[in-house]
Structure 1
């Protein structure tokens, strides 16, 4: 039951943050808000995954932050819709660029985030072990 509550709470926060970001980028005709949400969300999920690979959290924490927060913050359906909108608006090159930057950037940032998160988690584990040995 804790997992369900954590996912719901995380999703509510993530969705609210996505909404706030979209409000800030409405004046731009290019879907920069969705691009930022998805790439930033990929970085954050990568960092969490890397950290959780080194420091095992309680299951509800992992579910709330990963599935809930990151799932609520990112949006594949809006990415797909924005891509179609750019294409139908005769911005074929922009639509392909949008797909390339979103997917390539998202995967790259997830990898970098994983490496960073794992490094932070390993340092935390090292400090805890060193502190416990004294």
Structure 2
């Protein structure tokens, strides 16, 4: 049954990611950076909320594993990075750095923002 929650969330996330794919029509895959950064931010927020609110497992599977997993895309990032490095080492390296730093930063910001809202509730 848990796999149905993951599948439903993943389907929604994948469709939304597809809609962002039109941003990849230029020399730099902006759409992939945007979805991976936004997905990292959202997963950071969801992680903090899930821990604080003690969400049911099904909710976490649907939103975190399913939706965020379907929305973000490691496979496209990897393919694009390899292709870019093969044609332009500097641009490919920049793409990797921007993707990793923006994703990690967004996840931390999302986590801290959601944790910060917890502190506000306690006041």
- Counting only pairs closer than 5 Å after superposition, residues 42-57 of structure 1 correspond to structure 2 as 42-57=40-55
- Counting only pairs closer than 5 Å after superposition, residues 11-90 of structure 1 correspond to structure 2 as 11-23=10-22, 25-89=23-87
* TM-score (structure 2 length as normaliser): 0.92
* Unpaired stretches in structure 2, ≥5 consecutive residues: none
The whole-number CA distance in structure 2 between the counterparts of 1:32 and 1:5 is 31
The whole-number CA distance in structure 1 between the counterparts of 2:119 and 2:59 is 18
The whole-number CA distance in structure 1 between the counterparts of 2:58 and 2:41 is 21
Larger radius of gyration: 1
The whole-number CA distance in structure 1 between the counterparts of 2:97 and 2:74 is 14
Q: Cα RMSD between the aligned structures?
A: 1.6
Give 2:3's aligned residue. 4
Distance change (3 Å), C-alpha of 1:31 and 1:116: same
| Distance apart, 1:79 and its partner CA | 0.6
- Is 1:116 matched with 2:107? no
CA-to-aligned-CA distance 1:66-94 (integer Å, 9 cap, x gap)? 000000011111111001111122x2111
CA-to-aligned-CA distance 1:13-36 (integer Å, 9 cap, x gap)? 00000000003x143231111111
- Is 1:92 matched with 2:89? yes
How many residues are treated as equivalent by the alignment? 123
Give 1:130's aligned residue. none
| Distance apart, 1:52 and its partner CA | 1.3
Contact 1:52 1:121 in 2 (8 A): no
Contact 2:24 2:32 in 1 (8 A): no
* TM-score (structure 1 length as normaliser): 0.85
| Distance apart, 1:104 and its partner CA | 1.1
